[in-house]
Chains A and B, each alone.
Chain A
């Protein structure tokens, strides 16, 4: 059973379009992280959200943690080819337990 479900799995859009990707769970998480992974590289942290309802902005990227801390979304405004990559969400739980990763959303932004 996958603890974190990400949707869509694949997304191909034109440069300048907006998009939202989702990370959902039936479990409550203490924190939610978003990573971006480029081909041939390891994932790199974009943001961590820890409070239910929290919204964080990173330039054109907006991250939201659901009120119940079971889901999160990533919204990209005016996507650019440089946004292309695999977006992974990871849930942190209380105690000393490893992060749980979703399967990721593979985004392709076409110029």
Chain B
């Protein structure tokens, strides 16, 4: 069965370190998204990609970067981790982007920056 997997599920890192969260999907979807979920803020879009070598900034992109070298993977990098980036991160993929397209989510990565 097709799926979307995130790794690691839990990560503790120190302030200032570079951290990369992995996202791998086997749906063969062109579109992939990274969100962070925080109490009181819901799901906020960080970065997204509509295909290989395409990346776009979301509403909370500062301090994060992504690269898309193949269809299956969209790793999220925190260049210099900050305590404000402690959150649960979700990766999603979809066949389309806007109307009528279902987003399939991974199980999330809980990141703690100490």
Contact = CB atoms under 8 A, between A and B. Distances in A.
B86 interface: no
Nearest to A31: B99
The binding surface of chain B is classed by DSSP as loop
Given A48-B100, A50-B100, A93-B98, A101 B108 contact: no
The binding surface of chain A is classed by DSSP as loop
Given A42-B105, A42-B108, A99 B42 contact: no
A43 B94 CA distance: 13
Interface of B: 33, 35, 40-43, 45, 48, 50, 58, 90, 92, 96-103, 105-108
A75 interface: no
21 contacts: A30-B99, A30-B100, A31-B98, A31-B99, A33-B102, A40-B107, A41-B107, A42-B90, A42-B106, A45-B102, A48-B100, A50-B99, A92-B100, A94-B98, A95-B98, A97-B98, A98-B58, A99-B97, A99-B98, A99-B103, A101-B43
Contacts of A41: 107-108
Interface in A80-109: 88, 90, 92-99, 101-104
A44 B102 CA distance: 9
A102 B33 contact: no
B42 A92 contact: no
Contacts of B42: 88, 101-104
Interface residues of A, number: 27
Contacts of B90: 42-43
Interface of A: 29-31, 33, 35, 40-45, 48, 50, 88, 90, 92-99, 101-104
Nearest to B33: A98
The 6 closest A-B pairs by CB, nearest first: A42-B105, A103-B42, A92-B99, A30-B99, A31-B99, A101-B43
B90 to A, nearest CB: 5
Nearest to B6: A42
